[in-house]
Amino acid sequence: MNTNSQNLQTQFERLKRNKLFELFVISVILISALLIGAKTYSLPPKVITATIILDYLITLFFVVEISIRFIAEPNKKHFFNNFWNVFDTLIVLVSLVPIENSELAVVGRLIRVFRVLRMVSIIPELRILLTSLVKALPQLGYVMLLMFIIFYIYAAIGSTLFETINPTLWGDIAISMLTLFRVMTFEDWTDVMYETMQVYSLSWIYFLSFIFLSAFAFLNMVIGIVVNVMEQEHAKVREEKSLAEGTNEPSLRELQQELSEIKALLRQQK
């Protein structure tokens, strides 16, 4: 790599890390989102022309911005090893699909909606949140499975007991599960309960126990899993940031390992 290329890479790297540049990119993404919303209204011809020109300018800016990030990468091969770089590149490439006066006009407009997702790759906190949700999915899957079992049991009971009361809500197990979802989200669930209480006075036990299990217990389990994974991601980001800044602060795992080695040495001396 010659001196000019190194200087250009250094300048682009500084520009990429510049907070004002990041804020400008975020502003363009927000303008792009507002532009998509504006196109859903009936606009005067001059405004429509202005939105088309602005859309082209935004697309051009995204191409320039992703090019700056690519040139600023010291090792170009590692650029696409980062998921967010690949994600942003795909969004930009897809945005190049022509949307005016073409058979792909509707597809192009729908694709441009996804440009708003670039906000996730730009803002670190959103990246951590999305990464935490993805990593929590395996654990959440077991919670969802257990919740489905509870839904199924209660739906079978409800369909057996309440079918004659209101076949529309309790006609079969599938409809009963939809009714229970309505109860779980507190959408006029008291009307459903009072209707069954006219025949079964103790049916309130059925509804309250279901709400306790689904809306309270399972919801808290989901929140706990997501929060736990988010804490792990935040700790990982802090550790990577400290390593990138060149600090030599030991991690908790390293301190535990050193403590174990000291204990082993003391035992040997004894």
Burial of 170 (0-12, 13-18, 19+ CB in 10 A): buried
Highest mean pLDDT pick, 13-17, 63-67, 111-115, 125-129:
63-67
Q: Does residue 186 come out as left (phi exceeding 0), alpha (psi in the -120 to 50 range) or beta? A: left
The per-residue pLDDT for 155 is 94
Alpha helices in 105-172 (DSSP H): 105-113, 118-122, 124-162, 167-170
pLDDT digit string, tens, across residues 211-226: 998 888 888 888 888 8
Question: Structure pTM?
Answer: 0.60
List, as own/partner pairs, every contact residues 38-44 make where C-beta atoms lie below 8 angstroms and the sequence separation is at least 24, other chains included. Answer: 39/109
pLDDT digit string, tens, across residues 154-183: 999 999 999 999 999 998 999 999 999 999
Domains of the chain by range and CATH? 3-122 (1.20.120.350), 139-245 (1.10.287.70)
| pLDDT category of residue 243 using cuts at 50, 70 and 90 | low
Instruction: Using the predicted structure, report yes or no on whether residue 7 has a pLDDT greater than 80.
Output: no
Could you tell me how far CA 52 lies from the centroid of its own chain?
Answer: 30
The per-residue pLDDT for 245 is 60
Distances (CA, A) of 134 to 33, 137, 145, 191, 243: 24, 5, 17, 37, 25
